[in-house]
Structure 1
Amino acid sequence: MPHTFVILFILVLVATVLTYIIPAGEFDRVKDEATGKSLLVPGSYHHVEANPTGLWDIPKSIVRGLVDSADVVFFIFIIGGAFQIITSTGTIEALTGRVARSFANKGLWVIPVFITLFSVGGFTMGMSTEVMVFVPIGIAIARALGYDALTGTAMISLGASCGFTAGLLNPFNVGLAQAIAEVPIFSGMWLRAIILVCLISVTSIYIMRYASRVKSDPTRGLVHELEQEQAADAPAVDLNKLPTIRITHILTIITIVAGFALLIWGVSKEGWWMEELAALFLSMGVIAGLVSGFGPSRIASEFVKGASGIAYGAFIIGLARGIMVVLDQGNVIDSVVYGMSTLVGELPSSVQVLGMYFFQNIMNVFITSGTGMAVTTMPIMVPLSDLLGVTRQTAVLAFQFGDGFTNMILPTSSALMGSLAVSGIPYQKWVRFFWPLMVMWIAMGIVFMLIANAIQYS
């Protein structure tokens, strides 16, 4: 699979070709005084003068895409830097160690506990690739309880995936998609909380059933042969040597909890947007560093490290925005929306929303970055939802499901492949284990999409 940058550049070229092929057209737009949203006027599509993209316009569109999305790019940089400061305090490791020691002898209950714990990292910090650090701890606990490495890996990585997909307070996928859709950031949290509970419950039961089968007969485990080799060769993780919670960790946890409580208040009561949220995350990072005993230079160094680590995702935003710049300047983006609305409009009205849902799942195969897919697909899905009578919040829900459900089976997912590399589990074995659960997740997504559409989720 080509690099994500290469895929996005190819899409820029495809968009350029489309400006020569697709008839130029646009919808009339009006501003909704009640919400401040810019809405399409149904039935107003009309042809306009063509403006195909020239060769020199291709690199210019990428640069303009970065400039136009500067607020989002710097928002991502600041969040990446702030979360790196929090991560460097060791609070997450200490909290994980405390939970590991507390539940090491609790049998199957350790599975839902760890899934829930790491789901919090998923729906707040967008934890995905980072979970590979904790996989050895999960494996050590699983083996101590008579399970296998697959159980330990699943309860860590799938826990984070459940939280990432539900995305209650995840600024990297739901927050960004809602900003593009012009709906209040982190609004509609009540339904996503229900989705999170359902995901955790279904995933816990699935892994617990597998773990019980392995404990009763180890030869029935999917990684039995590898388990025999690794159990003998892999160094054991001493849970007693994991970091313990100190006063600085408690202060950091208080800072994080207070920060997210302030975030919920700000977005729900004061209408906070990216500027205020970026300032809040920056303050959380600095305060977490100070209460952990970091000096100003250490805080600055960790911030720069986190910001540089997120540069990949930030540039994806600019490249993806370049696609929209080309389509917009070529006066064909509304033509694309009109064509898609006509196609999806052929479906029964009750299942039109599923067309958007499956489109997002397919796009995730090619663009595994949540931020990249948000800025690539949401500018098309938002006006499409307006035309179909689907709420923009439901369009965001289709995006977050598409961005999350298949991440744990795609070989292009760095979160999945990193966890498998650490655990030594072959990709084929993981697919055999996970695909039934993924089908359950996708089916759950269908149900929730239909519910969201029926209740006009907002």
Structure 2
Amino acid sequence: MTTSTESTPSTANDKAGLVSAIQSKFPSALTILFGLIIVMAALTWIVPSGEFDRVASESVGKDLPVPGTYHAVDANPQGIFDVLMAPIKGFYDPDSGTANAIDVVMFVLVLGGFLGVVNSTGSVNTGIARAMAALKGHEKWMIPIMMALFAAGGTTYGMAEETMAFYILIVPIMIVAGYDALTGVAVILLGAGIGVLGSTINPFSTTIAANAAGIPFTEGMDLRLIILGVGWLICTAYVMWYAERVRKDPSKSLVAEQQESNKDHFLKFAAAPDAVLTTTHKLILVVFIATFGIMVWGVATQGWWMAKMAVLFLASSLIIGVIGRVGEKGFTDSFVDGARDLLRVALIIGVARGIVVIMDAGHMTDTILNTSAEAIKGFSNILFINIMYWIEVLLSFFVPSTSGLAVLSMPIMAPLGDFSGVGRDLVVTAFQSACGLVNLVTPTSAVVVGGLAIGRVSYEKWLKFVWPLLLILSILIMAVLSFGAMA
């Protein structure tokens, strides 16, 4: 009597059901984020409230904390009403008039509408089909090329929120190439992320941090280039290894159970492999590609932010609608349907911002900063810079904004390096590396939670994919910082 090692259909269904049951027990992104709001609110009842005095800085353009001025302030513990109000204030704070995440949310919804109009013409999917046919056998080289482009954006101008415009383009390409949705997410999130981690002239990280530390941003450039170059090689090799593994055996994909669902979602307007690009398709593709190019130019050189980016995509939607002759009803229906597809992403971004709202209201961020600064006094230079790195890692979870954390921590942390024989440029490098690393995974970042939501990758799966890479990158960063401290 022989025993087959192959699964019977019923066994396979049982396994699929078990996987689905396990996944259903893991909370959704919205639940995780709201849970973090509750945790932060509870901490405001425990962590002492305090603040630093602040002075205006013309070079940085923001108020900087003054070292040695930390003092206690009246506690403002956050209650049930504050917890429920936090997601609302995450979008817009009616008390202060602060437009927290509402600009990012509006951009995401307009982006969704733009993509809905483009997809209704079939142009992009036909272009993808023709490109894949031309790249047959060489698809894997798209990964290093695209990751290099995203890294260039990250290291030069801090490419972050605007990457959300690329997921709907890159993820389908990866799926058609035989990879999975997670590969597409990794190309963008890790590509731009390693650029920010190894920032060179990024005005929102290196430049602000160096100004706040009182040094030229060019100091320490050599070590940052090493982190950027080696880090990019590590990230690219890791993504290519995973992608090739999935291509050879789709069951190895971390999102294997979503394979058919993702194909239906991302390729719902898929073209046949032998589809012909018409003149109309080509014109629409020119406008489509030019829109992204103009966006990068506007953000990098003209100071554009979410409002102007949204206007750009709205205008491009209208132009593509006219070229594609979709008609008034076809345009409005496809635009609304596209915006509806990204509504969940918009909600996640607003709720994520609510975590920061709770922390700011509870006056606990400066207390954490002051405690950290007091804890690292008197250490040797190598020990000092490595502990500094991990402190910045901790602070980055509470303050996901690179510019915000630079303004908050550098005026306090950089002078401490003087007493330990560590150059302020090395403190800046430790800051930007820590901030860049954490912003690959922190659930308080709209870039992370928004990108994962668009790519349909759960936070749980992303952590499972990226944790070995985070460990490798941390070892690299600590080695470079230690070398710099010895030099």
Q: Same fold (TM over 0.5)?
A: yes
SS state at 2:330 partner: helix
* CA deviations over 1:176-226 (Å, ceiling 9, x no partner): x98899979xxx9x99999998777556656778999999xx9xx7969xx
Partner residue in 1 for 2:327: 295
Offset, 1:29: 1.7
Candidates 412, 421, 445, aligned match of 1:387: 412
User: Is the alpha carbon distance of 1:95 and 1:38 closer, same or farther for their aligned partners in structure 2, counting shifts above 3 Å?
Assistant: farther
Cα separation, partners in 2 of 1:14 and 1:159, compared to 1, 3 Å: closer
Q: Tell me the residue number matched to 1:253.
A: 285
TM-superposed deviation, 1:31: 2.1
Structure 2 counterpart of 1:24, from 27, 49, 54: 49
Using the TM superposition, give the Cα deviation of residue 439 of structure 1 relative to its aligned residue in structure 2, in angstroms: 5.5
CA change 1:315–1:342 in 2 (3 A) is farther
Compared CA separation, residues 162 and 258, structure 1 to 2 (3 A): same
The alpha carbon displacement at 1:271 in A equals 2.7
Note closer, same or farther for the CA distance 1:33–1:91 as it changes in structure 2 (3 Å cut).
same
- Is contact 2:114-2:316 (8 Å) kept? yes
Is the 8 Å Cα contact of residues 109 and 339 (structure 2) preserved in structure 1? yes
Pick one of 85, 88, 92 that aligns with 2:124. 92
**Does the 8 Å contact 1:132/1:418 carry over to 2?**
no
1:285 aligned to which of 317, 324, 347:
317
Residues 348-407 of structure 1: CA deviation (Å, up to 9, x unaligned): 45335632675489x6xxxxxxxx9947x9856752344323898986764454344799
Counterpart position of 1:138: 177
Aligned to 2:92: 67
What is the correspondence of 1:377-416 to structure 2 with a 5 Å cutoff?
383-389=408-414, 398-404=434-440
CA spacing shift, 1:49–1:320, aligned 2, 3 Å: same
Look up the SS of the partner of 2:291 in the other structure: helix
CA RMSD of aligned residues (A): 5.3
Residues 195 and 418 (structure 1 numbering): CA distance in 2 closer, same or farther, change over 3 Å? same
1:324–1:257 Cα change, 3 Å: same
Which blocks of at least 5 consecutive residues in structure 1 are unaligned?
140-151, 225-236, 364-371, 420-426
Deviations 1:116-169 (A, max 9, x none): 368879986534587664555323xxxxxxxxxxxx44xx7435522332339x
Give the aligned residue type for 1:29.
R
Stretches of structure 2 that go unaligned for 5 or more consecutive residues are 1-25, 94-99, 152-158, 210-216, 253-266, 415-423, 444-448
> Out of 103, 112, 116, which is 2:145 matched to?
116
CA contact (8 A) 2:190 2:235 kept: no
Q: Matches of residues 410-429 of structure 1 in structure 2 within 5 Å?
A: none
Indicate which of 101, 105, 111 corresponds to 2:133. Answer: 101
Matches of 2:103 and 2:452, distance apart in 1: 26
Q: What is the aligned partner in structure 2 of residue 313 from structure 1?
A: 345
2:64 partner SS: strand
Report the Cα distance in structure 2 between the residues aligned to 1:207 and 1:330, rounded to whole angstroms. Answer: 40
CA 1:418–1:262: 2 relative to 1, 3 Å: closer
TM superposition shift of 1:47: 0.9
**Kept in 1: contact 2:130–2:273 (CA 8 A):** no
**Match of residue 257 from structure 2:** none
Contact 2:146 2:187 in 1 (8 A): no
Deviation (angstroms), 1:97: 1.6
Secondary structure in 2 aligned to 1:30?
Answer: strand
Give the SS at the match of 2:177: helix
**Deviation of 1:26 (Å):** 0.8
2:108 to 76, 95, 102: 76
- The answer (yes or no) to whether the contact 1:129–1:416 under 8 Å persists in 2 is yes
- Which amino acid in structure 2 is aligned with residue 138 of structure 1? A
In structure 2, do the counterparts of structure 1 residues 341 and 135 end up closer, same or farther at CA, with 3 Å as the change threshold? same
After superposition, where does 1:58-457 map in structure 2 within 5 Å? 58-68=83-93, 69=100, 70-105=102-137, 109-113=138-142, 116=145, 125-126=163-164, 127-128=166-167, 133-134=172-173, 137-139=176-178, 152-153=179-180, 157-158=182-183, 160-167=185-192, 241-343=273-375, 348-351=383-386, 354-355=389-390, 358-359=393-394, 374=400, 383-389=408-414, 398-404=434-440
Task: Report the TM-score when normalising by structure 1.
Answer: 0.64
Give the AA of the match of 1:38: D
Are the counterparts in 2 of residues 37 and 182 from structure 1 also a CA contact under 8 Å? no
Aligned residues: 389
Code of the residue aligned with 2:176 in structure 1: it is I
Aligned residue identity for 2:368: V
Aligned amino acid, residue 104 of structure 2: V
How many Å separate the matches in 1 of 2:392 and 2:123? 37
The AA in structure 1 aligned to 2:385 is S
Contact 2:186-2:239 at 8 Å conserved across structures:
no
Q: Provide the C-alpha distance between the structure 1 equivalents of 2:48 and 2:332, rounded to a whole number of angstroms.
A: 51
Q: Deviations over 1:60-109 (max 9, x none)?
A: 3332332232333323322333344334443432232222211225xxx4
